[in-house]
Structure 1
């Protein structure tokens, strides 16, 4: 079976579905990882993304966020392989991550 590339935009985040399963669960897990500030989860202070990119110049912030995303997803959602991390931005200074990924071989939905 050939892996299909899945694209997920953090700008399209939805509310948490406690009963999510399969691909929906994986996408929801990624969204939770990326929307959690590191240090705020009591039992795992390294979960989430650092916030040292806030107020940094856009290019510098984008590089830092991109590296954080790769590291966090690799650690906390091992069922996926990231293909790319890009950003959909706008004029108000926000960087909205867009993650393209594939399921790791052997992952069953």
Structure 2
């Protein structure tokens, strides 16, 4: 089953989430919202912020790759099925990824 995660779906973070699906989806959301280098002792975690100044077509390709790699590395219980971008926000010069993941291991 696929789950879509968007940047607009930010909610409260549960530090003791007991539902494994919610915990996994929350972890993916945190990966997407974290700027690489901003976590002490975990500098490789997140997405590279240097993409901000790139042209949209180039940034989309690089962001797609970074999202896939970051999720594969830091949340191995999911597989990235697709990465799309919100076209409404893209028209305003904002890249807002919509990531579809499939849970492969709920433990």
Moved over 4 A (4+): none
TM (norm. structure 2) is 0.89
Match of 2:49 in 1: 51
Output the aligned Cα RMSD: 1.3
Match of 1:6 in 2: 3
The structure with more helix, counted as a fraction of residues = 2
Give the gaps of 5 or more residues in structure 1.
none
TM (norm. structure 1) is 0.88
Confirm whether residue 18 of structure 1 aligns to residue 11 of structure 2: no
Q: Is the 8 A contact 2:7 2:97 kept in 1?
A: yes
SS in 1 for 2:49: coil
Structure 1 residues 37-57: Cα deviation after superposition (integer angstroms, max 9, x where no partner): 111111111011111211211
Give the gaps of 5 or more residues in structure 2.
none
How far 1:15 sits from its partner (Å)? 2.1
